Structure 1
Amino acid sequence: MNTAADERSLVVVGGGHNGLVAAILAADAGYQVTLLERSGRLGGATQGVAVFSGHNVRLSRYSYLVSLFPDELADRLGITLALASRPVSSYTPVRRRGRDLGLLVQRRPGAATADSFAELTGSSAEYAAWQQFYGELGELAAVLAPALLGPLRRRDELRRAVVDAAGTQIWQDVFEEPIGAAITRRFADDTVRGVVATDALIGTHASLWDETLVANTCFLYHLIGRGTGEWLVPIGGMGSVTDALIARARQAGVTVRTGVTVTGVDETRSEVTLVGHDADGAQLELRADRLAAAVAPSIVDGWLGRPAEPPSGAQLKVNMLLTRLPRLASGVDPEVAFAGTTHLAEDFSALEAAWQTSSAGRIPHPLPAEVYCHSLTDPSIMGGETGATLTLFGLHTPAELFASDPQGGKRQARDSALAALQQYLAEPLQDCLATDADGEFCVEVATPLDLQESIGMPGGHIFHGPLQWPFASDADEAPGAAEASVPDSADGASASPAARRYGVQVRGSRRIVLAGAGSRRGGGVSGLGGAAAIDAVLADR
């Protein structure tokens, strides 16, 4: 394929949610858009898949919940996302003082939440501290969520707004010191501290005391989505988000080509040229005015022949299909315990110990993890079958742990993760597991290396690299600094004023813009990376 470029042509590489968002917005603005995807189907990590043979259950295989995708962006795209609240925010089983207990946090905390804190900790102090902290975080989220769209705002501007709304302390807690300091200062109970801390570690391999604040940025993105921080269940599974975007892209006239691998990119003052091959090995060459790369930055660097160190993911994903939910040793109703996020082996001290163990090259046991049961909120994903789904997300399992023995490491990590669940159950988990058409237990395990292999995600890093603050840095706030200036390219070349205004990174000249989860305001299922990239392109023409 050899297509000449014109000034209204744009190629999007990467058919995940960010690539689809970028393609739709560019097509709606009048661009001739071609979307290229390496695999045979669109969706990337947001695909809905019937994982287990003999069952019609459609699982959200690699991504599960929606929080960061703004309603304003969905409206702009012309799509409707059916999202449902979970009745429970979290449940944490605990074995303490010879008793099986549990910390229940309702989505709208009430008497049951207060009683749960009191039973676990022996006083009302921790619940009061919880209400204070999350009240301040709610005010912070209301300020920062609108800043995820549109031109990048300045750090000092947002700091003043947060301080005016919620006080100086919450700004210091999130943006000025390691999140571990804030958590240990505000809370006394190890389990309560751990429940708070997990939002700083999902998809991030770091100490809670990391001075670079990498855990803090992870914490921020998990607490500000949609202005509330609530994580919602997409009705029909995460694949329904992909389906809505695909239908809208086709309606907008986007040309979609799957099974296409891009191997190199060149650019001149007037166009960008992509080379690669299709699924049959046929060579292709495609020219366009602009390229939106909705893939990891390390992949783009590889296209350009630059040194590219892939990031390292740090999560384990275990999908399960059950005939029924298992009974818990605490006696709590399983439909309550699994209705939200179920925290396993995630005391604050256990999280830090697991980081130290994994940093030393060993898989923690039991593995800190959390479990979601989407079928409780959305039975439609069961395809008419009875039973339940459980999805386990394990922390502190960096890709390096699986490099020398991928299969052996996967088995060990699986066993450590399931042990974290089994220790709080009143019956063997296997008694509740469904079997597939071959008689095997319905358990699917994916390490970071599996994500790299199946969806082309370098290192299996779900954010494509460390998350970044969603504002212009302090260094760009000095008098006379360019408006919302940000580091914008791998080689230090200056991006266009439009790219700088929207916090969009470029590779090479202005013709290649990053549009994926590795964008400044990327990460999570948000579409923010794709939207910012096209906003910059449109402002730059």
Structure 2
Amino acid sequence: MTTLGATNGQGSSRQPYRDVYDDVIVGGGHNGLVAAAYLARAGRSVLLLERLGGTGGAAISTRPFAGVDARLSRYSYLVSLLPGKIVRDLGLDFAVRKRSVSSYTPYRAEARGGRPDGLFVGGDTGRTRESFRRLTGSDRAYEAWREFYATTGRVAERVFPTLTEPLPTRAGLKERIGDEAAWRMLFEEPLGQAVEDRFEDDLVRGVVLTDALIGTFAGAHDASLAQNRCFLYHVIGGGTGDWDVPVGGMGALTDALAGAARAAGAQIATRHEVLRIDTDGRGPAEVVFRTATGEGRVAGRTVLVNASPRALAELLGEEAPEPAAEGAQLKVNMLLRRLPRLRDASVDPRQAFAGTFHVAEGYANLERAHAEAASGELPSVPPSEVYCHSLTDPSILGPELVEQGCQTLTLFGLHTPARLFERDNQGTREVLLTATLAQLDEHLAEPVTDCLAFDADGRPCIEAKTPLDLERDLRLPGGHIFHRDLSWPYREPGGEGDAGAAGRWGVETPYANVLLCGAGAVRGGGVSGVPGHNAAMAVLGR
């Protein structure tokens, strides 16, 4: 059999790949690794090509601060949508831990002279009820909260298992949920209506709405229902909606996936940048790639693309799909010498930061921030949420850092679309970071920057990533963490998802031998492995 490999431009072969593989996978993010592991375990010949020097994509752990033994989940940082089925099927040595607190939202109790207080959710039921009572003056908000999330919990139990099954029809999923009011609330009416109908307090409304805005630039009443789709994926994870902490950081998952793929016989080639996919949709597709020594080419009977729909179009030499994707988040990583003290001295910072710490995320401010950003201005009061990974999983820190009491903080800012950074990414990043940290400091007894650790070169341990930074580093289109707006987890007869095996799994493209296995597939988004699993099932089901 002849070989197709990288050449130095003069015909000498490098990397002696076979000319035709059963499956060539473009991109070594977690979904590509899932697909590679499943397909190789089925006895197929699999080659995975990754542009960067290592696998994992956005789901990696890294040491971003020079000379500091802190292995942070640099981009994605919590696990909810990863089905236990994938972990079991692939025999992954990977674990998650529950957070002791779901969320803490600080506020000033104006009725009590502006005294600092906070809304605790999760953990002890009695404390949660009392926390709602202090905020609103009655038990009504807490009971409404329980009823609302009991409804989303029932939906989660029914929807989550379908993510690793062939796509249900819209009517089929509605029947499976079996709750007309819940279906209307989540799938038909803007989420803002449900939030406003069920909750009176601005702070409570905001805490609910935040799950509709992570990585999604939308208002509470957007007619597109992009906010509803984002909310749905955030409350169905694991059939419970829990957001769990990956033990060892996100890189522990992708390292385990890469190990499983290799153990099953898949070849993984890093520093192989795919330039083009040539196919007529029938015979093997040819994949042209570049390495440090030149260009090469291989062929795959099926090519699975773990990249965005826009990147897929570029690889095929076709016009990119519209509308263009646009990310809308600021991601900040910090290493602290210690957690900062809170203005609310009655609360231990280790409890407040153990879950999601909401900052400036009242309902009215979230809507105002969206309107300001939509008009081309940075939010005047930038909303964000903060979380401390190392409280739940100290293994990401070296023993010396643990002994010193160091902790990590991850901050995720909302409503900061890529368009705001196009003129001056670096300058706008600094302005936004300063304003965002100032909002956090409003609830602290000391500035968070006073608590920062320093790296080996004496620089503070803090880094911020805008959507444009994510596009540059990871080739996320417009910095969109889901590659494009999330899709509904169903298909319409005769529409998307009704085109043979690939369509039944939501991974089809215009070419029968090219499948989409990244976050832009139907039921993609988040660290789930679902698109990788579903693309592999489409291949194996042919």
- Secondary structure of 2:102's aligned partner: strand
Is 1:339 aligned with 2:376?
A: no
Determine if contact 1:410/1:445 at 8 Å carries over to the other structure: yes
Q: Distance in 2 between matches of 1:16 and 1:4?
A: 23
Q: Distance in 1 between matches of 2:286 and 2:201?
A: 57
The one-letter code sitting in structure 1 at the alignment partner of 2:332 is: V
For 2:93, the equivalent position in structure 1 comes to 80
**Which of 442, 464, 474 is equivalent to 1:423?**
442
- Secondary structure of 1:326's aligned partner: coil
Determine if contact 2:101/2:351 at 8 Å carries over to the other structure: yes
Determine if contact 1:5/1:289 at 8 Å carries over to the other structure: no
Q: Distance in 2 between matches of 1:241 and 1:30?
A: 23
**Which of 191, 197, 205 is equivalent to 1:179?**
191
TM alignment of 1:377-388, pairs within 5 A: 377-384=392-399, 385=401, 386=404, 387-388=406-407
Determine if contact 1:5/1:271 at 8 Å carries over to the other structure: no
Deviations 1:112-166 (A, max 9, x none): 0000000011111000000000011111100001111121112222212323xxx
Determine if contact 1:48/1:60 at 8 Å carries over to the other structure: yes
For 1:323, the equivalent position in structure 2 comes to 337
The one-letter code sitting in structure 1 at the alignment partner of 2:273 is: T
TM alignment of 1:38-77, pairs within 5 A: 38-77=51-90
TM-score by length of 2: 0.93
- RMSD in angstroms over aligned alpha carbons? 1.3
Q: Distance in 2 between matches of 1:505 and 1:178?
A: 29
Shift of 1:281: 4.9
Determine if contact 1:44/1:455 at 8 Å carries over to the other structure: yes
Is 1:202 aligned with 2:214?
A: yes
For 1:479, the equivalent position in structure 2 comes to none
Q: Distance in 2 between matches of 1:136 and 1:81?
A: 30
- Secondary structure of 2:464's aligned partner: strand
Deviations 1:375-415 (A, max 9, x none): 00001111111310000000011111111101101101211
Deviations 1:12-43 (A, max 9, x none): 01111000001111111121111111111111
Is 1:501 aligned with 2:520?
A: no
Shift of 1:101: 1.3
**Which of 131, 139, 156 is equivalent to 1:124?**
139
Deviations 1:40-99 (A, max 9, x none): 111111110011112100000001111100001111122132110001000000123022
**Which of 470, 474, 481 is equivalent to 1:455?**
474
For 2:29, the equivalent position in structure 1 comes to 16
- Runs of 4+ deviating beyond 2 Å: 1-6
Q: Distance in 1 between matches of 2:423 and 2:133?
A: 47
For 1:251, the equivalent position in structure 2 comes to 263
For 2:528, the equivalent position in structure 1 comes to 526
For 2:121, the equivalent position in structure 1 comes to 105
For 2:12, the equivalent position in structure 1 comes to none
**Which of 376, 386, 390 is equivalent to 1:361?**
376
Q: Distance in 1 between matches of 2:348 and 2:338?
A: 12
Deviations 1:198-226 (A, max 9, x none): 00000000111011110000000000011
For 2:10, the equivalent position in structure 1 comes to none
Deviations 1:250-284 (A, max 9, x none): 10111111111111111132110011311x15011
**Which of 352, 357, 374 is equivalent to 2:367?**
352
Shift of 1:5: 4.7
The one-letter code sitting in structure 1 at the alignment partner of 2:533 is: A
Is 1:412 aligned with 2:412?
A: no
The one-letter code sitting in structure 2 at the alignment partner of 1:267 is: T
- Secondary structure of 1:46's aligned partner: coil
| Percent of aligned pairs with the same amino acid | 49
- Secondary structure of 2:358's aligned partner: strand
The one-letter code sitting in structure 2 at the alignment partner of 1:295 is: A
Deviations 1:223-251 (A, max 9, x none): 00110010100110111101111111110
The one-letter code sitting in structure 2 at the alignment partner of 1:530 is: G
Greater mean deviation of Cα atoms: 180-189 or 414-423: 414-423
Shift of 1:504: 1.9
Q: Which consecutive unaligned segments of at least 5 residues does structure 2 have?
A: 6-16
Q: Which consecutive unaligned segments of at least 5 residues does structure 1 have?
A: 477-484, 489-493
Determine if contact 1:145/1:226 at 8 Å carries over to the other structure: yes
